[in-house]
Structure 1
Amino acid sequence: MKKIRLIMLASAILLFAACTKDGSDPVIPKNSWTLNSTQHLVVGSSRASVSGSTDATIIYKDGSNEAVTLGFKALPTANATYELVEAGTSLSDNQCHLSVTNATNNLLFKGNTASVEVIIGENKKIIVTIPEVNVAPVISGTALKFKAALYETN
């Protein structure tokens, strides 16, 4: 009788152990940005060169013609952490600029630097995670809270 219980217990342990999930898929956030408490879903993206400059940009657009633009000295080609700096700063290899265009303003990153995670995904698509930072109108106005998880769609 003890052997049967022992065999049943061992079988139950093996059965439950077989149900564990090793190597589960990572959670990928929505392709979106949040400006204050309003979430914007990305419906398209494009790469561009800045006129009169060697800088490269990625533009992420939502369905209402609002957009996020990230500027790099050169488009990233490997996973890295970039330093987000204010507009007007000359970019080094590991820095980037941020601008947000909404219905009423062109907003730029303002404040201390922030770390932006860049991952190169399938087909060399660039995935970017930006922590909560302040963006403010170019001329004057109230700063807004911005954060994003963005990846190229095209």
Structure 2
Amino acid sequence: PNKHSYNVKYSHLFPLKRLLKCPSCSRYLTAGFSRGRHGKKYPYYQCPTKGCSYKPVRSDYAEYLFLEYLKYFEMDKDFINDLFEGAREYLSAKQQDNKNIVAYEGKKDLKKELASTLAGQRGFEPIKYKTLKSVSKP
């Protein structure tokens, strides 16, 4: 937990800023430019720690290595299709369960209404009818 908050500015020139850490001291690499002999600017990632042995790395090389690393995490198309098919089946089963629950609740309400109607036709109060019905069962 850092006590300081830093205002990090992101740039399209340095998309890996705050993602790359120094392998020597584990601090985030900063991004900046280095000038060549003829005044041309070259983008680099470098360690902010003074005296750190880690050498600055050109941004295009760092981005190339990062993309190569990401290739290890690519998923097979068949795996993705199987994953989505499994999710569809699971959601379909859940939907069916929900429909069954709603239908069951509807049947319970219908039975209560029917019992109340029958009790009213026979001159019983619904509670007495329910009690009478449960007593008359074998």
Higher helix fraction (1 or 2): 2
Higher strand fraction (1 or 2): 1
Higher RCO (C-alpha 8 Å, min separation 6): 1
Please state which band the TM-score falls in when normalised by the shorter chain: under 0.3
Between Structure 1 and Structure 2, whose CA radius of gyration is higher?
A: 2
